[in-house]
Amino acid sequence: MRKTLMKALLGAAVLALSAGSALAEKIVIGQFGNPTPMQVAKSEGKFEKATGWEIEWRTFASGADVIAAMASGDVKIAELGSSPLSIAASQGVDLQLFMLAQVIGTAESLIVRNDAGIAKLEDLKGKKIAVPLGSTAHFSLMGALAHAGIAEGDVTIVGMPPDQIAAAWEQKSIDAAFIWQPVQSQILKDGTLLVGANQTAEWGYPTFDGWVVNKEFVAENAGAVAAFAKTMDEANAAYLADPAAWTADSEPVKTIAAATGADVSQVPDILKGFAFIPLKDQLSPTWLGGVAEKMKTTSDFLVKAGRIDAAADDYSAFVNTDIATEATK
């Protein structure tokens, strides 16, 4: 009798656990795998705890890949750069920006070979430059060329994913690359940083990485998405509270390095290459409050550059401020 009762209790427990697992919605979330504070929260399972989701984190190499995944409906939430965001919105992809991940500074930069004879932007004429096409780095590169008065026909732009850029650099088949970490650190061993995205931003071509969500999904899961945003904001706040404490031998930096494969000694400098904007400040006209206008400006530039066929008249439908408002209450 006692064994029978024990079996019944164990069976009930298993059924309860199975039911609980079934209730946890599995969500695929896309990320670039940047060495940023969110990697600490991700490693500690804080996003799952906050949202109640079973999360499959999927790493993408470029914004173009993210757009394709979002368009297919396979990925519900993803990290996406500002220029790919404008491309996706111009193409009518069903998504909304609900928060910034980070504003890009020297984390994306134009690196030139030390033996390529490039001391200034004008020296890029006749050179071969690699960049992931459709990325924020690509937008920054076009902005740098425009600022210097260099036509795209005066240089050879080669579209490559980051790993291929590293290989091409080793083979000396490219003269320069506008790229992010960790490839940036690899090629800086025999290269020089000529221009960073912080400089192209000052010239009128700002870039950032943001978090986007499927419109239908956010309409049905606004509370959980707000919890996701709040957790992301808390992760960034932990860094902003004392950036100097995030040294190579600190636990957060070790966690970031382990999660991303970045060299732990380089993570502190990589973090300095980004600006992390508190979520409450993102609601200002400078950021989410005015990002639709920035998307329009970016899209118009991409049309002139021949990267997209047409820009929309208004991009406000692709921005969601309700999530940030709820997350900061």
pTM of the model: 0.83
CA distances from 192 to 22, 64, 322 (A): 52, 28, 43
Token pair of 216, please? 């239908």
* CATH number among 3.40.190.10, 2.40.50.100, 3.40.50.12780, 3.40.1010.20, domain 2-104+208-327: 3.40.190.10
Token pair of 222, please? 């606004």
Q: Where are the beta strands (DSSP E) in 19-83?
A: 26-31, 54-59, 77-81
pLDDT of residue 10: 41
DSSP label of 155: S
Q: Which CATH class is domain 108-202?
A: alpha beta
DSSP state letters, 253-294: HHHHHHHH---TTTHHHHHHTEE---HHHHTSTTTTTTHHHH
Q: Please tell me the distance from the alpha carbon of residue 252 to that of residue 28, in angstroms, as a whole number.
A: 25
Q: What does the pLDDT profile of the chain (329 residues) look like in tens digits?
A: 444 433 443 444 433 333 344 457 899 999 999 999 999 999 999 999 999 999 999 999 888 899 999 999 999 999 999 999 999 999 999 999 999 999 999 999 999 999 999 999 999 999 999 999 888 899 999 999 999 999 989 999 999 999 999 999 999 999 999 998 889 989 999 999 999 999 998 898 889 999 999 999 999 999 999 999 999 999 999 999 999 999 999 999 999 999 999 899 999 999 999 999 999 999 999 899 999 999 999 999 889 888 899 999 999 999 999 999 999 99
pLDDT of residue 133: 86
Q: Does the fold of domain 108-202 match that of domain 2-104+208-327?
A: yes
Angle between helices 136-147 and 291-304 (to 10 degrees): 70
Domain boundaries, the chain: 2-104+208-327, 108-202
